[in-house]
Each structure stands twice: as C-alpha cells, then as structure tokens.
Structure 1
Amino acid sequence: MFREFEPQGLVMLALTDESTGTVERFMENNEMPYPIGCGAKSARAYGVQGIPSAFLIDADGVIVWQGHPGAGGWEGMIPKLLAAARDAGPGWDPGEVPEALAKAAAAARAGKMKEAVKLAERARKAEPAAAESFLAGLGEAADRKLERARALAAEGRYFEAGERLRELEEAFKGTDWAARFSEQRLAWVKDKQAKALAALDRKRVQANADARSGKAAKAAKALAKLAEEAAGTPLEAVVRADLERARKTAAAAP
C-alpha cells in the first residue's frame, strides 16, 4: 500500500513506545519502507484505546479515519485524500517536463505561479507544445484549487476557505487567476451568512489547534458550545466530528 502511493505523496509514520534498541533489532529482521518513531507518547493525545491503531490525516491536519488497520474501509480513502492534498496548497507539480520547462516546473512546485507562467512563456520558442500543455495544466490546477476552496465553504468552513484563497492570491499574484480567487473571497466577505459562518469556523480552527497542542479538554468544551451555535448550518456536522475527536483525546489523557 505504502509503496503504491508514496510516489503520489503518501507519508506513513509508525509510532511505538518501545525503546530504540528494541525497534532497531526489529528493523534488522524486517524491511520497513517508512520511519518508526521510538519512545512515542502520542497514544493518549490521539485517544488510542487499542493496539494496533491507525489514523488517516488529511492535508489540513484533520483526522479523517481512525481504527484498527485490519478492519478495512480506509484503503479507498487514500486516492481521494491524495488528490485533495495536491490541490490543498499553492503549489502544483506538473510531473516530468522537457529541460526547457524545468525552471518553470520548479517555480510551480514552489507555489511561485507568476514566475512559473513567465518562464513557461519564455519556453514557448524551444518547446511550444510542451509550454502550451504546461500552461493549460497550470490553469486546470488553479481551477481545482478554487473548487477545493468552494467545497470547504459548502461545508461551512468559510474561514479555512478564505485563508486558502488568500494564500492562492499571493501565489498567483500578477496572473488572471489571482483576480478570480480574490473575487470569490470578497464575495464571501460580503455575504452575511458566509461571514457569520466564517466567524464560527475560526473558533473551530482555534479549538482544533488547542486539541493538537495537548489542550483537548479545553477544545472539547469550546467545540461543544460551538456545536450549539452552529446548529442547523452546514458547519454543524464538521464541528460535531471535531468535538467527538476532542472528547476521545481528552478521555484518553492522563
């Protein structure tokens, strides 16, 4: 599974409370394609109630699945999560490109889209078809990123969506796409319901940050209150899922 999806960006990490020596002896006799963290104390923080336990964490740092790895049901989620992760940040990976487009590709991967466009335009003379394909792919990536932000907004996660568009505006600054990102973000700012949900979503993001920093009980309390405030809105389901995770983490804490 890991070897199949690693080229697409899957990161896998094993954690154990065993000593370094024990793990080293294990690895001498077993080929492990991913790292193992020794002496881990994260079991309580993640609300682990049995061993082995597995977690799927998306590009936003949200646990989207947890349970016994042998239970199944999570394998089909990986391709979708990887696809979403590719559109989460400002960067874009065009894959293999001709040498003339190497610098443009590097800029795109780094999220420097204005520079990527400029370099691709310069490469038109040497590689016209490849440059055209590169620019078309960049445009499609921008469209997917915009749709990803809109999908977050549809769940009531307007604060997250707005912050993502701000990041994209900066990455695509000086291009036509930046204007599209800005137009959508400002439309949400002017919408009363979107603005109200953004304020609630900001509290949710802060509560989740508290949960990740060892303040799960505080986070659970804040999320419980927030669930009442978000009742009847698209954000309610998201908040309640976060609340359940925070409560599990708090219950497992010493």
Structure 2
Amino acid sequence: MASIKTTKRSIINKARALGASLVNFAPASRWDELGEVHPDYRPKALWDKAETVIVIAVPMLLPVLESTPSINYQEMYNATNAMLDQIGFRLSVWLNDRGHASIFMPRDGYGNLEILLNKYQGCFSHVFASKYAGQGTIAYSHNLITPEYGPRVRLVSVFTSLKVPADPMLTSEVCLKCDICRKLCPSQAFTTRPDSIIAEMDVDACTRYHQVLRGENRWPCGICCKVCPVGEDRKLYESVNSARYLKEREVLEQNPDDPEYRSWVHQRRHGSSGDRIY
C-alpha cells in the first residue's frame, strides 16, 4: 500500500469531520519518559508499531448531564460511546488507507460492572493519554479535566505508526481541588490525599452504586462530572452557580416539585424504574 503524505492538520480535519471536538497528539515515547503508567499499559507494549497516540474527545452536554440520574443522561452517554468507537475505527481505517498502520483502543474496555469489580481497569488509560496529549490534567475525581469542558468529556485513542508532531502537555493543574465532587458523591468514594491533587478513590463503592442505577435504567452516575465548576461550557449554558448543586438534595427532600429543579426531577421520573428524584 502506497504511503500518502498525511499532515497533522489533515488528521485533525478528518477527525473533526467524523465528529471529534478535541484532537491532540502524544508521542508513544512520552509514556516511557514520564514513567507514571505501568509498562504493560503503555502504547508500545500494546502495539509495537505505535509511534503516535491521537486522543479524541467529545463533550457531554451539561444540561442533559444535570438531569442525572436519568434515562436521558444514560442515552447521551451511550451516544458518546458509540460515536467515539466509530470515530476511532474510521480514523484508523482512513490512516491505513493512506499507508499509515493504525488501530484504536475502544473507549471503555470492560464488559460490564461485575467484571469491573474484580478487574478495576482496562488495558489502556485514555485519561493518561489525554493528559500526555495536552488536552487536560487529571482531576481530584480521577477524571480527565479540560479547560473547555471540565470533566464532561469522553475519550478514545488511536495508535498510529505515523510520527506526528506532539502537542505540549499542560503546565498547570486544571482542577481547582474545590472539594465539591467529594461532598456530593453519592457513594462517598473520594478521600483527600494531602500530598496529591488526586483523591484516593473507593472504586468498589463507586461501581456498586452504578449497579443500583443500572438496575433502574438510569446509569452511569456522573455526579462528579456534573458538579465540577471548571469548563467554558458552563458559560455557554449559563450554568455557573455551584450552590445550586450543593443544596439540591436538601431542597428536594423538602419539596420534590421545587421550581428550580423541576426540569431535572421531571426527567428522573420518566423512562426509569423506581421513584428516585436525586
């Protein structure tokens, strides 16, 4: 197969045409240079032809996420997952057709929640890939957090044999360590570590809460992504007041039909089992 000259800009344009919002590049060597990720989980260990990792992000729409736990958020989450796998696959094929061997790592990489309880991670971390590609930093909540969307992004990674100029990593933390995700986590999964911006996380507690929500057809949870104050998307949607989240449960316990939360509660009451309103 003849090799067709392929520039960084042409890859970005193709990925965006397929639906990507953020497209960034990290050299596979960056994993070795930084040494944060176990050698077995690095790109070269997974596929020895990998020279560049192309990290693609699509956003989750804040007003839909604010309705969580709801079927509407579940459907949006599923849509982003399907879209990411399509983008990753189609971009890989496009690069292959141009003579640059490429594969993609699926966006989640685990079969179900029960497997996750016993094997708490996939074979590759898109969060670290996104960090190394300069899209954001790793937040208190273990999510990848970006200036554009906060943690409200979903990720997929393409490995390619083509060497593409790398994007620089961000030099300052995006996470504010404001503590709101810890305070409002339904499973109380986070414990602050004084020596790190990233919390200790009880993956078991988080996963078991997701099992409950899945049984009601209103999962995943997404509260830590919902309440994070970071992100330019908040200005777009005119949703910049975190106090609204902090008082949500207390207000709804007193008045489930409170006008400030009526839209969210309406969505939670439809399409899912049970009578959960927060």
TM-score range, shorter chain: under 0.3
More RCO (CA 8 Å, sep 6+): 2
TM-score, normalised on structure 1?
0.24
- From the CA coordinates, give the structure whose radius of gyration is larger: 1
TM-score, normalised on structure 2?
0.23
Structure with more of its chain in helix, by fraction: 1
Structure with more of its chain in strand, by fraction: 2
